[in-house]
Amino acid sequence: MKCKVIVFPGSNCDYDCFYIIDKIFAINVEYVWHKNPTIGPCDFIILPGGFSYGDYLRCGAIARFSPIMNDIIKFAKKGNPILGICNGFQILLETGLLPGALLRNNSLKFICEHVYLKTNFYDTFFTNAIEKDKPLSIPIAHGEGNYFCDRDIIKKLQDNNQIIFQYCNASGEVTNDSNPNGSINNIAGIVNKKRNILGMMPHPERASEKIIGTDDGKAIFQSVINKLL
């Protein structure tokens, strides 16, 4: 198995993702610079968090036109797994690989804190190793994480079971008070219809070792490895 972490100018979570795959799971992992025209041999792609191109224009809007993205789109259409975290989620939305948009947080402030996530479905590349009915404690760090889409898209997401993660409280209840950024329906992460692409705002790579407070995010990476090995 080989994992590739895509690096854009402004990425700042690429090292964290690389470390988790390399040191925690001992899986072959390589960085791929965004100007590379091809990914190369690969089973799993991570689009890390950060501020690609300084978040100018819109978050992820310029990164969408990086040369590597054409090959990533081809990779996705073959049904291979892609995990987009925070800015990576924003890039996936800009490419059209996932539906909807991410707006400024309703507080209009950058938020950096731990949140709880409810997992709605456990039959995906990214959730099969998650303990059922356990709220995941995972940090967020974003200024534009307010997920938005129109009613038609929400209905499709619901009908196709694509809303994988929702912000919740410590008891697993999805409430207004547990929504940190104003996301519609408390959405924290969605998959595409084929369920091989996950975009999420929380950072599982920052929650994969107990020494840093929680290893709840580790199960997301473990899930992909379970499917591929």
CA angle 70, 72, 76 (to 5 degrees): 120
Q: Is 203 a catalytic residue?
A: yes
16, 19, 20, 26: CA torsion to nearest 10? 170
Q: What is the identity of the amino acid at 10?
A: G
Q: Is 34 a catalytic residue?
A: no
Burial (CB count <10 Å: 0-12, 13-18, 19+), residue 122:
middle
Q: Where are the beta strands (DSSP E) in 8-123?
A: 28-33, 44-47, 82-85, 101-103, 111-119
Spatial CA neighbour of 184 closest among 192, 174, 193, 194:
174
Helix (H) or strand (E) holding 189: strand 187-191
128, 70, 77, 149: CA torsion to nearest 10? 70
From the candidates 13, 86, 149, 168, which is the catalytic residue? 86
- Residue identified by tokens 């209840």 is 173
Query: Over 88-119, what HEC string results?
Result: HHHHHHHHCCCCCEEECCCCCCCEEEEEEEEE
From the candidates 34, 42, 144, 205, which is the catalytic residue? 205
From the candidates 17, 34, 94, 203, which is the catalytic residue? 203
Active site residues: 86, 203, 205
